[in-house]
Amino acid sequence: MYVPKYHEELNIPVLHALIKSHPLATWVAPGDGELLVNHIPFLLDPTHGEFGCLVGHVARANRVWQSFSADINSVLVFQGAEAYITPSWYPSKHAHGKAVPTWNYAVVHAHGVPRIIEDRDWLRRHISQLTDELEAGQALPWQVEDAPQEFIERLLQVIVGIEMPVARLVGKWKVSQNRPEPDKLGVVAGLLGRGDASSGAMAALVQQHLSLDTKN
């Protein structure tokens, strides 16, 4: 991934926070002479190694678990806030016209070699933890124990665990850092004016970096 220095995010807790808040990863794995692409939720264990370990599962019918390379890193892409940015929000555009549209986003790439886990007890613990974390915000959280045990046992037989110790984390926060302060303020106002959650999340990131740039 192309990452200019002013877009580079190196703070591990910040990278981990994005993964935890956006756990659905795009898993890109080399295998069988092509790139295998899947969309899988992964949980982060930050206590494992320098960069943590990512844990998920796939259906046995999904050939990725038998085909991914054990020698070349896979990449898990975690997409955070993103928004289209119109130059009409820049005061500088109205002053001299030298501005073009762009797209802001925050993203984390986790690199590593996955391994397969087929142990039934591990899988049961994994789906319970995954469920508990993803259901935590529900008014009436669903639990694995809510389903008939024989039903859960049948499901455990048709999934395979994936565990990927993270060898490298790359974070890119493209949040208008290269714009002058008035343009950043214009971006924040424009995003907030849209009124949707994604634009609001990006406005917060731009505002955060505006504050950091001011302090520096």
State residue 84's pLDDT score. 97
Tens digit of pLDDT for each residue in 7-39?
999 999 999 999 999 999 999 999 989 999 999
Cα separation, 195 vs 201, in Å, equals 10
Cα separation, 214 vs 12, in Å, equals 23
State residue 196's pLDDT score. 94
Beta strands in the chain (DSSP E): 8-9, 24-31, 34-41, 43-45, 53-59, 74-85, 102-112, 115-117, 159-165, 168-174
Tens digit of pLDDT for each residue in 107-143?
999 999 999 999 999 999 999 999 999 999 999 999 9
How would CATH label the architecture of 5-178? Roll (2.30)
Tens digit of pLDDT for each residue in 134-191?
999 999 999 999 999 999 999 999 999 999 999 999 999 999 999 999 999 999 999 9
State residue 99's pLDDT score. 79
SS3 21: helix
Instruction: Give 93's pLDDT tier (boundaries 50, 70, 90).
Output: low
State residue 118's pLDDT score. 97
Range 49-72 burial, b when 16+ CB lie within 10 A, else e: eebbbbbbbbeeeeebbeebeeee
Neighbouring CB atoms inside 10 A of 74's CB total 24
State residue 211's pLDDT score. 63
Instruction: Give 213's pLDDT tier (boundaries 50, 70, 90).
Output: low
